[in-house]
Amino acid sequence: MSRSKSNPQMVLRPQDVVVLLRLSLGTESAPTYAALAEELKLTASEIHAGMDRAVAAQLARKDESGKPVVLLEALRLFVQHGVRYCFPVTHGPMGRGMPTAHAAAPLNKLIVQNTEPVPVWPHKDGAVRGVAFYPLYPTVPDAAKNNPALYELLALVDAVRGGSMRERALAIAELDKRWAS
């Protein structure tokens, strides 16, 4: 937990957003913490603590059996209005990586690319050269490689975190399509 004796305030961490995005994909039943940990390249204790923080932040709740349930409207509002302030983008040097934000699906089909370098998550297996756009958490590229739907959500959240006003609006519209009840 992110608490100390002098300040018992619980604080969301970037990996908590990654976990919530994965859970928002709405598979038939919520995976176990161990399965989530393996998929997201985190530890089960990180998943557990992250869900406790998400519940405290009212971005999730636990059902009768104790399984986490994402509160999609709350998550949507947090992504739209809070994520770029809580987890601002950090850019780095040019290098190889995986495209994100407007350079990744689905926004890359909606936005005409200019001549500027594209944003990429630095990654050893990256096939695209661009400017480093550090992900919410270091394990994001590996988790995204194995789950295209999660990759899209993470790229859309990156567009909200670091995109222009138009890119943010398009990203929110795409997230709304995926999270429509």
27 & 51 share domain: yes
CA pair distance 181, 174, nearest whole angstrom:
14
Tokens coding 165? 């006003």
Cβ atoms within 10 Å, residue 158: 30
- Buried b or exposed e, range 122-141, using 16+ CB within 10 angstroms: bbeebebebbbbbbbbeebb
Instruction: Note the pLDDT of residue 27.
Output: 66
165 & 130 share domain: yes
Decide if pLDDT at 2 tops 60.
no
Sequence-distant (6+) residues with CB within 8 A of 133 are 89, 91, 92, 100, 101, 119, 120, 121, 158, 162
100 & 144 share domain: yes
Q: For residue 59, name the pLDDT band (cuts at 50, 70, 90).
A: very high
Decide if pLDDT at 1 tops 70.
no
61 & 112 share domain: no
Q: In total, how many domains does the chain have? A: 2
User: Tens of pLDDT along 28-45?
Assistant: 677 889 999 999 999 999
Domain extent, residue 23, equals 14-84
Decide if pLDDT at 58 tops 70.
yes
User: Tens of pLDDT along 91-146?
Assistant: 999 999 999 999 999 999 998 878 889 999 999 999 999 999 999 999 999 999 99
Work out the mean pLDDT of the chain and round it to a whole number.
93
Establish if 59 belongs to a structural domain.
Answer: yes
User: Tens of pLDDT along 17-27?
Assistant: 999 999 999 76
CATH of residue 30: 1.10.10.10
